[in-house]
């Protein structure tokens, strides 16, 4: 009988140790960070011939025209991608190394870090003996370039010191290209673009075609005057929804809605003050020391006037930003993922999508104004980064539609939205959130820009 009790005790201890070990193991089972869904081919060329990427097509396509006489059975492509890997069939593709037979269309499959995929169909066309087109044209450091018929337009950033000796990189289906009597070598020959430059493309059969290249330098933009709205890191007309805890560096406010519409933003989350149009803010029911009521004894006071004026100035700033003359229009068809953008005024008739990191490169006095006819959608774990001394206070995102930042995304600049601004869990902003309706926060960090 004693022996039975001994074994029972031993079994109990073993089970207790197993339960303890399992409990300890659970501490290490924190949910992993979400993997990136980025999976675009952002640049593609074969033997110096630049591919035209139709990113918005269904299916996505890449068209490459190679010079007359090119054998397409064993060509090597150079490409960049935001994905984790690229395959043709079962063959892993290495940029600048892997060869493929382009006798027919070739399907490239890009796989993202999270395992999702997208296909690009690459078609290679061999130029005829009479071919004499310029199929791609860029200048280093440009903001944008376009080819419309035989007219090529290039926009350079405001910081461009001179256009008298710019070097173009281009692709042509012709035998050679000249400017005047000078043969042009892509990526090597400089030209003076003070006035439009005429490029002559000569085909293999000696026929010719001329292209006119015009280079414009973007003008400097003045910052958008926020007026009294510049005193607020978050300003709305319909309140602020918050899932705590968030960290808000600066002052927040709402008008004309009651201050009770900010009740779930607590004083412990705000380093500045909370301005309302009445005395209805209660917060957590204990600490209301950060609240500045807009009424005294039921009578509107100067603090109500302050937040009301901020709302009016927010509307004026929105109109100002939307009305600036644009230097670049429809860049990337609204998809600026992975781009590095110089200072200037950019305009889209669509929404703007950010699926991979965007860099704004410029000095402390440079200004960026983004005019967006719809909304902004920023993917999870992506960032808008400032380099070269650029400051968040000089970046203005004017959007007619909803601005949505996904989980752990990071945004730089002042967002002036006609409607709502929503931040998903862990998203961060260095700038201001000025919303024509409401702002939604879920455990976010919003930091007002340095003066």
What is the SS3 assignment for 269?
Answer: helix
**What φ, ψ does residue 432 adopt, rounded to 5°?**
-140, 150
Q: What is the pLDDT of residue 128?
A: 82
- Tens digit of pLDDT for each residue in 333-345? 999 999 999 999 9
Whether 13 contacts 354, CB under 8 Å: no
Name the residue ranges covered by the structural domains of the chain: 41-126, 134-217, 227-447
Residues 6+ apart with CB under 8 A from 161: none
DSSP strand pairing (85-88 vs 91-92): antiparallel
Architecture of the domain made up of 134-217: Sandwich (2.60)
Q: Which two tokens stand for residue 292?
A: 């500045």
Q: How far apart are CA 374 and CA 345, in angstroms?
A: 16
The per-residue pLDDT for range 117-170, each reduced to its tens digit, is 999 999 999 888 899 999 999 999 888 899 999 999 999 988 888 999 999 999
Other Cβ atoms within 10 Å of 325 Cβ, number:
9
126, β-bridge pairs: 66
How far apart CA 144 and CA 241 sit, in angstroms, is: 39
52 in Cβ contact with 173 (< 8 Å): no
pLDDT at 6: 53
| Confidence bin at 32 (pLDDT 50/70/90) | confident
Pick the CATH number of 41-126 from 1.10.150.530, 3.30.590.20, 2.60.40.2340, 3.40.50.300: 2.60.40.2340
> Quick check: do 41-126 and 134-217 share a fold?
yes
Which pair of structure tokens corresponds to residue 315?
């509307």
Residue 19 has pLDDT above 70, yes or no: no
Say if residue 18's pLDDT is above 50: no
3-state secondary structure of 238: coil
CA distance 445 to 127: 55
- The answer to whether residues 402 and 384 touch, using CB atoms and an 8 Å cutoff, is no
Number of DSSP helices (H) and strands (E) in the chain, helices first: 2, 42
Residue 405, pLDDT score: 98
Q: Which residues contact 60 (CB under 8 A, 6 or more apart)?
A: 41, 53, 54, 118, 119, 120, 121
Q: For residue 62, what are its two tokens?
A: 């890449």
The whole model's pTM is what?
0.66
Distances (CA, A) of 335 to 127, 131, 349, 369: 30, 32, 12, 16
């Amino acid at each position: 009988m004693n022996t039975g009790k001994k074994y029972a005790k031993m079994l109990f201890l073993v089970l207790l140790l197993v339960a303890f070990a399992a409990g300890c193991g659970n501490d290490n089972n924190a949910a992993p960070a979400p993997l990136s869904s980025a999976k675009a081919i952002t640049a593609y060329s074969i033997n110096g011939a630049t591919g035209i990427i139709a990113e918005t097509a269904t299916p996505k396509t890449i068209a490459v025209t190679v010079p007359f006489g090119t054998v397409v059975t064993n060509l090597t492509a150079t490409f960049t991608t935001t994905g984790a890997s690229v395959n043709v069939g079962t063959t892993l593709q290495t940029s600048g190394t892997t060869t493929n037979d382009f006798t027919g269309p070739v399907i490239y499959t890009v796989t993202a870090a999270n395992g999702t995929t997208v296909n690009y169909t690459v078609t290679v066309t061999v130029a005829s003996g009479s071919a004499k087109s310029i199929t791609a044209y860029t200048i280093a450091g440009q903001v944008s370039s376009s080819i419309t018929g035989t007219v090529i337009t290039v926009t350079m950033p405001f910081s461009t010191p001179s256009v008298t000796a710019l070097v173009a990189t281009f692709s042509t289906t012709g035998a050679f290209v000249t400017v005047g009597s000078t043969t042009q070598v892509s990526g090597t020959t400089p030209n003076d673009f003070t006035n439009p430059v005429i490029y002559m493309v000569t085909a293999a059969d000696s026929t010719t075609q001329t292209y006119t290249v015009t280079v414009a330098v973007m003008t400097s933009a003045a910052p958008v005057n926020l007026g009294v709205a510049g005193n607020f890191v978050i300003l709305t007309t319909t309140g602020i929804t918050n899932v705590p805890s968030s960290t808000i560096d600066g002052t927040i406010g709402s008008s004309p809605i009651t201050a009770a519409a900010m009740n779930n933003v607590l004083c412990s989350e705000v380093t500045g003050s909370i301005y309302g149009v009445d005395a209805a803010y209660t917060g957590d029911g204990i600490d209301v020391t950060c609240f500045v009521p807009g009424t005294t004894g039921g009578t509107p006071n100067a603090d109500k006037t302050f937040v009301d004026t901020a709302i009016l100035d927010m509307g004026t700033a929105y109109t100002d930003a939307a009305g600036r003359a644009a230097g670049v229009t429809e860049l990337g068809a609204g998809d600026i993922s992975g781009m590095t953008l110089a200072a200037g005024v950019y305009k889209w008739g669509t929404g703007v999508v950010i699926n991979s990191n965007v860099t704004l490169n410029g000095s402390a006095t440079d200004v960026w104004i983004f005019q967006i006819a719809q909304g902004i959608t920023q993917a999870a774990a992506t960032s808008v980064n400032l380099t070269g001394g650029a400051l968040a206070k000089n970046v203005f995102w004017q959007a007619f539609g909803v601005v949505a930042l996904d989980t752990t995304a990071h945004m730089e600049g002042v967002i002036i939205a006609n409607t709502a601004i929503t931040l998903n869990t862990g998203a961060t902003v260095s700038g201001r959130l000025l919303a024509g309706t409401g702002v939604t926060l879920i455990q976010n960090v919003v930091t007002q820009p340095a003066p």
